[in-house]
Amino acid sequence: MNLPELPADLRASLGKARNLVVLTGAGMSTESGVPVFRGPGGLWEGNRPEDLATPEAFARDSEKVWRWYRWRLEKIALAESHDGHRALVDLEQGNALDQVTVITQNVDGMHQRAGSRNVLELHGNITRARCSTHCGEVRDSLSVDPANCNCPCGRGGLRPDVVWFGEGLDPDVLTRAERTLHEADMVWVVGTSAVVYPAAALPGLAAGRGVCVVEVNPEPTPLTSRLTHSLRVPASAGLRALALAVASGS
């Protein structure tokens, strides 16, 4: 793998960091075979988000929504973590940093499968289903029949335990994410188009305090101009290069 050269001032900041937060989006998983949402080949190409990822879509046609989530679950089941996931695990398990927190918008659980333990899932997890009325019923998504997803409580439907457009994020998870970002002295923003809120606002909490915020993304985003450094490389190469620099203390 070709690792990018890191500028000297970034290497110096990486050498001093103790508390790292890594905010990830769909681009983190794409080298594992999980598609992104936006852009060519993305999940929204040929699909309207309002037909698949809103509570209204589920109320209208729960079977259509579940069939789409089933298809994604099958793709995720076949996915394998890449070197970028492993670089974050190495940092969490190593001694170079006091704390490593992954805050992810991804619902695929790939960070945890790779071995990361300190992970906050902003948009839920696709492998879980829950009752739309929050009655307490929680199941494995694969055990839900797309054609008949009524909850045993009789009041709602079993739906993917993810955050759809127009729904609030779990306030506890969001508060923990914000607190973690207030304490971070280094932030990496990896593989997100930074157009979906409130997740897109999180890097600004650190950047506004003068913390070093590094973007890892082959493409620029609306955040780019506010961040300290941008590495225009895929997540695997960018994260391995950053992790090696942290571990070497330079």
Which one from 82, 85, 111, 123 is the annotated catalytic residue?
123
Catalytic site includes residue 85: no
Distance CA 222, CA 211 (A): 18
3 state SS for 181-243: HHHCCEEEEECCCCCCCCHHHHHHHHHCCCCEEEEECCCCCCCHHHCCEEECCCHHHHHHHHH
Judged by CB under 6 A, which stretch of 29-37, 89-97, 149-157, 180-188 contacts ligand BJW? 29-37
Nearer to ligand BJW, 38 or 113 (CB): 38
* One residue of 73, 79, 97, 196 binding ligand BJW per CB under 6 A: 196
Among 132, 141, 180, 221, binds ligand BJW (CB under 6 A): 221
Q: Interface with ligand BJW includes 37 (CB under 6 A)? A: yes
Size of the site for ligand BJW (CB under 6 A): 35
Nearer to ligand BJW, 30 or 141 (CB): 30
Q: Is 30 in the site for ligand BJW (CB under 6 A)?
A: yes
Nearer to ligand BJW, 164 or 188 (CB): 164
Helices (H) and strands (E) in the chain, counts: 9, 9
Q: Which of 4, 19, 38, 247 binds ligand BJW (CB under 6 A)?
A: 38
What b/e string do you get for 36-51 counting C-beta neighbours within 10 Å, with b at 16 or more? Answer: bbbeeeebeeeeeeee
List Cα–Cα distances, 248 to 9, 17, 86, 114, in angstroms: 15, 12, 17, 22
Q: Give the nearest distance from C-beta 98 to ligand BJW in angstroms.
A: 26
Strand partners, 121: 104
Distances (CA, A) of 189 to 65, 89, 100: 30, 16, 13
Nearer to ligand BJW among residue 185 and residue 242 (C-beta) = 242
Question: Taking CB under 6 A as the rule, does residue 7 contact ligand BJW?
Answer: no
Q: Rule CB under 6 A: which of 144-163 touch ligand BJW?
A: 162-163
The answer for 39, left when phi > 0, alpha when psi is -120 to 50, beta otherwise, is left
* Interaction of residue 141 with ligand BJW, rule CB under 6 A: no
Block residue for tokens 């490389």:
233
> Are residues 98 and 116 in contact, defined by beta-carbon separation less than 8 angstroms?
no
The residues assigned a catalytic role are: 123
Binding site for ligand BJW (CB under 6 A): 25-27, 30-31, 36-38, 42, 53, 105, 107, 123, 162-168, 190-193, 195-198, 216-219, 221, 234-235
